[in-house]
Amino acid sequence: MEIKLIQGDITGQDVDAVVNAANSSLLGGGGVDGAIHRRGGPEILEECRALRASRYGRGLPTGQAVATTAGRLPARWVIHTVGPVHSASEDRSELLASCYRESLRVADELGAETVAFPAISTGVYGWPMDDGARVALSTVRGTPTSVAEVRFVLFDAAAYAVFERALGEAPPA
């Protein structure tokens, strides 16, 4: 699998599947979630509502992932996953790793070959970027998948630099 780092807005990525850093309500929010729903249009929210009605009445649990259409985004699917809120007193990195693993599993089910990830949990959910990058890269590298290309789309130059350093330091898969 090829791993690429890109600085920019994830909603513009021309990939099979874009991963959304959602919350368990699946009804939208700020950050990546807000941007995806804004640019993707109402079709995504409609499917999220249907998923709530059919399978996730109590919300999508943290660490899990589920797919919808991508509406007007230049992608085929959006894979919604719920990252953990960072905690100083409890190690929740296994839940963060689960977001990447489960998203790749859903991507495999869909037959997606190219997948764009944001740095899950590193915004509103408060995860330190360097640790978030380490978990993201080691999990994606360590997950068996038929996805051929994973793009990490980092919003700003600082996040990009952190991922670049972590990629250089990560042990080979």
Active site residues: 33
Decide whether 156 or 173 has the Cβ nearer to ligand AR6: 156
- Contact string (CB under 6 A) for ligand AR6, positions 86-125, x = contact: --------------------------------xxxxxxxx
* Piece of the chain touching ligand AR6 by CB under 6 A; list 32-40, 106-114, 144-152, 161-169: 32-40
Decide whether 118 or 172 has the Cβ nearer to ligand AR6: 118
Decide whether 58 or 144 has the Cβ nearer to ligand AR6: 58
Report yes or no: 22 and 81 within 8 Å, Cβ to Cβ.
yes
CA distances from 56 to 37, 49, 111, 126 (A): 19, 9, 23, 25
DSSP 60: P
Please report whether residue 10 would count as binding ligand AR6 according to CB under 6 A. Answer: yes
Alpha-carbon span 14 to 131, nearest angstrom: 27
**C-alpha atoms less than 13 angstroms from C-alpha of 130 in its C-beta half-sphere:** 3
Given candidates 5, 44, 65, 159, which one binds ligand AR6 under the rule CB under 6 A? 159
* Piece of the chain touching ligand AR6 by CB under 6 A; list 18-26, 49-57, 71-79, 136-144: 18-26
Alpha-carbon span 60 to 55, nearest angstrom: 9
